[in-house]
Amino acid sequence: MAGTLEFSPDDRYNAFITTCRQAPFADGPLAGTAVAVKDNISTAGIQTTCGSRILEGYIPPYDAYVVELLRSSGAAIVGKTNMDEFGMGSTTETSAFGPTRNPVDPGRVPGGSSGGSAAAVAAGLVPMALGTDTGGSIRCPAAFCGIVGLKPTYGRVSRYGLIAYANSLEQIGPMARTVEDVSRLMSVIAKYDPRDSTMLDRPYDHRPSAEIKGLQVGVPEEYFGEGVDPRVAETVKNAIGVLEDLGATTVPVSIPGMRYALAAYYVICTSEASSNLARFDGVRYGPAVDTRKSWHEAYQDLRLELFGPEVRRRIMLGTFALSAGYAGRYYAKAQVARRNIQQDFERAFREVDIIAGPTMPTVAFRLGEKTDPLSMYLSDILTVPANLAGIPSISVPCGRVDGLPVGLQLMGRQFEDERVVDAAYAYEQGVRA
């Protein structure tokens, strides 16, 4: 199949930063399929900004590996989607290019940081999109916009060409309106790449199955505790009941280290961000600095002018956590907490096949509602554990509260992405039957 794909996005939602004129596309498993790509994934010849003024006008000279795979599959890359600046946020409000709006209710946030990708899919502008997930940035907007989003096992999808925020946590993953389409896109992008030293050679080539009879589903009490809207909790419990009706068995499990998860995550991710974003200095990346000033002054002024407040906040937090006299007190302890959380999941997975709970503690909130950084950070409480543990996690729509979507989160053992996808597919098919 060959042809040219015309694409004129509806900009009511501000889902795209850049749109692309399409050349003829080749045959392949995604031939003729429009795919949107988050704007922190490198695309040769196409502006890639990370939602930041400091990279406005930056044109990568090469494609990320996932983009190479999309092109070779016949997909048409129709645009780069809006995002929280450098992936730092849960609402897509920190973008230097304005907030994205939720197509379900344009007065509400779409989630973040992959909010543009989720909104583009939810609005029907594209059937599929790529997002990235550092602490929930695929699953949060998938839940808020009522679509499906998969955070793969860490090391399953190449990060070559991804502009790094927190290397040890982030993964590129698929977003779509159905589990089947998420699995199709995952089959294209999950190929081994020796340029990413964190990868293992575990390609994904899977067609979802709705057969889950005998599946052991762990239900952790920590996912239904303080801070979770009781109506969201009830909706998710009803969805877990659907899995039981389909032949699964539920088992209570515990992830006691969850009480440390959010603190550990924000120490680790800000520390890595402090290091990764040092390159945006007006010499290596970013607009040229004023050479009449001292390097120190020029560096400071450029970053103050072109980084948004949330990015500056996280850089400062990470720099402090890594500074002399404090690295042992904060960063080292955060890594111990991370290992404890990994061990909690390992123990739970000796008893069960997957773990189920809400994706987000609430439904999508109103634009501008969470101006306090701490309240925004708290919204990540249910998604960051999967990133700290490096396990696969999917969000699938499971109902509505006050007309707004609720996401069911399903997590599995490392490299058992297929089982997680099957459980989500079984639920999706079960409620459609």
On whether residue 383 sits in a domain, the answer given is no
Active site residue 42: no
Q: Determine the Cα–Cα distance for residues 127 and 44; give it in Å rounded to an integer.
A: 22
Number of domains in the chain: 1
Pairing of strands 354-358, 148-151: unpaired
Catalytic residue among 114, 137, 271, 395: 137
* Per-residue confidence (pLDDT) for residue 298, from 0 to 100: 84
Please give the pLDDT value at position 282: 87
Structure letter (DSSP) for residue 153: P
CATH number of the CATH domain containing 23: 3.90.1300.10
Pairing state of beta strands 171-176 and 148-151? Answer: antiparallel
Asked if residue 54 is part of any domain, the answer here is yes
CA angle 297, 298, 302 (to 5 degrees): 120
> What confidence score (pLDDT) does residue 283 get?
86
Q: Taking the CA atoms of 286, 290, 295 and 301 in sequence, report the sign of the dihedral they define.
A: negative
Among 38, 80, 151, 191, the one annotated catalytic = 38
The predicted pLDDT at position 291 comes to 78
Q: Vertex 105, ends 103 and 106: CA angle to 5°?
A: 70
Active site residue 113: yes
- Classify residue 287: in a domain, yes or no: no
Q: How far is CA 279 from CA 79, 84, 135, 204, 347, in A?
A: 26, 19, 23, 33, 40
Is 370 a catalytic site residue?
no
How far apart CA 20 and CA 34 sit, in angstroms, is 11
Whether 131 and 107 have beta carbons less than 8 Å apart is answered as no
Range of the domain at 42: 11-189
- On whether residue 78 sits in a domain, the answer given is yes
Q: Output the CA–CA distances (angstroms, integers) from residue 316 to 124, 133, 160, 277, in the order listed.
A: 39, 22, 26, 11
50 lies in some domain: yes
Domain assignment present for residue 26? The answer is yes
The one-digit pLDDT tens for each residue of the chain (433 residues) are 345 555 667 779 999 999 987 665 678 999 989 999 999 999 999 999 999 999 999 999 999 999 999 999 999 999 999 999 999 999 999 999 999 999 999 999 999 999 999 999 999 999 999 999 999 999 999 999 999 999 999 999 999 999 999 999 999 999 999 999 999 999 999 999 999 999 999 999 999 999 999 999 999 999 999 999 999 999 999 999 999 999 999 999 999 999 999 999 999 999 999 999 999 988 888 888 877 888 788 889 889 999 999 999 999 999 999 998 889 999 999 999 999 999 999 999 999 999 999 999 999 999 999 888 888 999 999 999 999 999 999 999 999 999 999 999 999 999 999 999 999 999 999 998 7
Asked, for residue 282, whether it belongs to a domain, the answer is: no
pTM of the model: 0.96
Residue 268 CA to residue 166 CA, distance in Å, equals 8
Please identify which of the residues 42, 73, 95, 113 carries the catalytic annotation.
113
Copy the structure tokens of residue 191: 């190929």
56 within some domain = yes
Identify which of 76, 96, 72, 105 has the alpha carbon closest to the alpha carbon of residue 17: 96
**Burial (CB count within 10 angstroms: exposed 0-12, middle 13-18, buried 19+), residue 42:** buried
DSSP 8-state secondary structure symbol assigned to residue 300? H
**Do 270 and 377 form a contact (C-beta atoms < 8 A)?**
no
Contact 79, 123 (CB under 8 A): no
Question: Looking at residue 2, what is its pLDDT?
Answer: 46
